[in-house]
Homo-oligomer: A and B are copies of this chain.
Amino acid sequence: MREQHIEYRDGETLLEGFLCYDESLPGPRPTVLINHASNGRDEFVERKARRLAWQGYACFALDNYGKDKLGRTPEESSALMAPFMQDRRRLLTRLQAGLAVAKGLPIVNSKRVAVMGFCFGGLCTLDLARANADVRGVVSFHGLLKPSGFTEPKIRAKVLMLHGYDDPMAPPEDVLAIASELTAAGADWQLHAYGQTVHAFTNPKANDRANGKQYDESADRRSWHALEEFLAEVLK
């Protein structure tokens, strides 16, 4: 398995993505971009990248904060995320910088790219679809669903949202709102809601049910199956 850190820039900001692929397989290949959660491009997304690389995809974990910028506490993570939540166009520019770098990599088949992400990274992923970035499909895991303000009139990417129904960061009113938003934009969208499930259900370290963040083995497994099925559909 080939692993490589790749520096790139958004304006003055130095960023560092993580590329992973099985070098025993030939040529440019279908590729999955991964957007990290609010704490930054950490071991969690690198593990996801490796897992998909074993299935034959090239994976590129984007860095949306800056090289070596990691939130070590919830407060630090919130502080890193906040400027982008307040300025979604700035976030979009950051995301597009990473997408452009990924598409230029020799291992990447730039016509067969999907994007996925977790929590804040789910929102990043949805924003690329909303802006009609040239990707085949996007997958949000316990993503924030708040509207961006720049949804295109006709979204081309297929959209899959994997959602804990009791997620306090994406309550039912946000689900209804994004359903209306994506329907109006003509998107091919799906939402899988998991009952008795809160935020961060894919993260084995999440263990704070009282504050709505808790790992859930079955939602983790089901959502991963849904991802695999979706990638097989959109990247084939």
Contact = CB atoms under 8 A, between A and B. Distances in A.
Given A188-B195, A193-B193, 17 more contacts: A159-B195, A165-B179, A165-B191, A166-B183, A172-B176, A172-B179, A187-B195, A187-B196, A189-B196, A190-B192, A190-B193, A190-B195, A191-B193, A191-B195, A192-B192, A192-B193, A222-B229
B191 A192 contact: yes
14 contacts: A165-B179, A165-B183, A166-B183, A172-B176, A179-B193, A182-B195, A183-B195, A187-B195, A190-B194, A190-B195, A190-B222, A191-B193, A191-B195, A193-B193
B225 A229 contact: yes
A153 to B, nearest CB: 15
Contact of A195 (B189, B195, B196, B222): B189
Interface residues of A, number: 23
